[in-house]
Amino acid sequence: MIDTLKFTLNRKPLQLKVDGERRLLWVLRSDLGLTGTKYGCGEGICGACTVLINQKASRSCQIPVKDIQGKEIITIEGLAENGRLHPIQKAFIDRDALQCGFCTPGMILNAYSLLLEKPRPTDAEIIRAMNDNLCRSGAHVRIIQAIQTAAQGMRGGRKR
Ligand code: FES
At residue 156, the pLDDT reads 73
106 lines ligand 1 (CB under 6 A): no
109 lines ligand 1 (CB under 6 A): no
> What letter would DSSP give residue 27?
I
Q: What are phi and psi of 4, to 5 degrees?
A: -100, 115
Per-residue pLDDT band at 137 (split at 50, 70, 90):
confident
pLDDT at 20 over 60: yes
Residue closest to 75 by CA, chosen among 115, 16, 35, 134:
35
Q: Look at ligand 1, atom 3, and give the residue with the nearest C-alpha.
A: 44
What is the residue-averaged pLDDT of the chain? Answer: 95
Q: How far is the CA of 138 from the centre of ligand 1 (A)?
A: 18
Taking the CA of residue 42 as reference, the ligand 1 atom at the shortest distance is 1
At residue 106, the pLDDT reads 98
Residue closest to 138 by CA, chosen among 110, 109, 107, 97:
97
User: Which 3 state secondary structure label does DSSP give 144?
Assistant: helix
pLDDT at 136 over 90: no
Digit-coded pLDDT (tens) for 27-85: 999 999 999 999 999 999 999 999 999 999 999 999 999 999 999 999 999 999 999 99
pLDDT at 159 over 60: no
Per-residue pLDDT band at 157 (split at 50, 70, 90):
low
pLDDT at 160 over 80: no
Report how far residue 50's alpha carbon sits from residue 56's, in angstroms, rounded to the nearest whole number.
Answer: 10
